[in-house]
Amino acid sequence: MKSKTTLPVYSCLFLFSLLVVVSCKKEINDKGFQQREMEKATQANKTNGHLKQTKTYSAEVASKWQDMQLKMLRIAGSNPYSLNGLRWFAYCGVGLYESVVPGMPAYQSLYGQLTDMPAMPATEPGKAYHWPTSANAALAFLNKNFYLNTSVENKRSMDSLEDALNTAYRAGVNEEIFQRSVAFGKTVAQRIFDWSKTDGALTVYPPYDAPPGTGLWSPTAPNPTSVVAPYWGKNRLFVQGSLNNTSSPPPPSYSTDPNSAYYVMVKEVYDISQSLTPEQRATALYFRDNPGFQAGTHYLSMFSQIMNSENPQLDFYAVAQAKTGIALADANIGCFQMKYQLIVDRPIKYIRQVLGHTTWNPVLSTPGHPEFPSGHSQNGGAFAKVFASLFGENYQFTLHTYDNLGMSPRKYNSFSEMTEDVGRSRVYAGIHYTYTCTESRKQGEKIAQNILNILRFQN
């Protein structure tokens, strides 16, 4: 049996709801209500801002800091940073990536993937960040701490760049968002910098004595006492497993027999030196990188030239620098690890003592470290593999690295073509064997491929 009070109750509820709807419609149509809601939204934006993603911003901040780094690396007649140029580029790449990855929903931190990397700070839930500001804070902190010994002029340039970018960014965002973004970027950078100090590069090792033995490398003219980076191979790898299954068979065993593979390998270097064409000599000199970018940092110039040409958004640039930097750094560690294990001799000693050309000199001065692998070629292979993954193998580009020295630009139809040119340059220069340059390039490619296979940037 139905209650007698049911209909009146429903009627009351209906009338109440109708009054609420009418009242709300009246308030929504009221201009004063609209103004109050707009003021509430404005106040919320002052605290939270618009939650823009990293991909909505240009890579201006990253490219300008990379150009600044190249300015500090381009030092004529000396190389005060040794192999640190590639190492610092890698840490800056990781720092850049971690300072903006919270604004990349499909991507994740590299914490837990890179060796001994510390946990990164968390962003405040629901709060907005201006990712270029965060990146500027991180890159300014890292570059200023890595390049402590750069010139006073360069230090002023870094301060000016940081201030100029901050002034531009500050004008476009709320002060609270700006300060929050700066704090986040600096915290990321501090943790990355502290991490960098534990990788072994700062370890003080005893003086290195080259082991005696027929056919083994030892320092030669023009630097008979120079031994470069004998312990660099002991540095911590960014990616565990990056060197797995990447080693080529070593060059032929030492022999003075004219029919031996070793004799033929060295004689080729001498024969080429006797009939160098102007173009071959120009190729050797182009990748001399002195004055200019030494110890593999020419690849950082290539990175900047291609990235500036492509003009990507900030998210793409951050991923590209992290991948490229890590691959180059680990390839360099693997290169020097193998150099001081195999201790293969340079061409100059054999050509003078065995082939009997006692006054022979290479086009370039012989470096103060063993011959195999070739650092230029191995780094080139790593660089090419990463960039082929980003832009495709058959990517056409032109290098203008040494336009300022009057050298002609070098044009390539692919990254492989570039690495082959680099390898030939070392043979033309008289400091490496063809076998070494070919196999070193392959080793670099394998190292980079391992890294691309192991690391997971996207969720």
Q: What is the pLDDT of residues 43-71, one digit of tens each?
A: 444 444 458 999 999 999 999 999 999 99
CB 374 within 8 A of CB 426: yes
CB neighbourhood size of 202 (10 A): 9
What mean pLDDT comes out for the span 351-380?
Answer: 96
Report all structural domains of the chain as residue ranges with CATH numbers, in order of start: 54-196 (1.20.144.10), 232-454 (1.10.606.20)
pTM to 2 decimal places: 0.89
More confident residue, 271 or 8: 271
Q: Which of 35, 87, 101, 6 is nearest to 318 (CA)?
A: 101
Per-residue pLDDT reduced to its tens digit, 165-211: 999 999 999 999 999 999 999 999 999 999 999 999 999 999 999 99
pLDDT of res. 413: 98
Per-residue pLDDT reduced to its tens digit, 210-220: 999 999 999 88
pLDDT of res. 15: 40
Cα–Cα distances (Å) from 322 to 41, 132, 169, 244, 353, in that order, read: 38, 16, 24, 20, 46
What mean pLDDT comes out for the span 80-90?
Answer: 91
pLDDT of res. 388: 98
Mean pLDDT across the chain, nearest whole number? 90
CB 86 within 8 A of CB 146: no
E-strand ranges in 295-371 read: none
Is the pLDDT score of 115 beyond 50? yes
Distance CA 446, CA 297 (A): 20
Per-residue pLDDT reduced to its tens digit, 267-323: 999 999 999 999 999 999 999 987 778 778 999 999 999 999 999 999 999 999 999
- Structure letter (DSSP) for residue 362: -
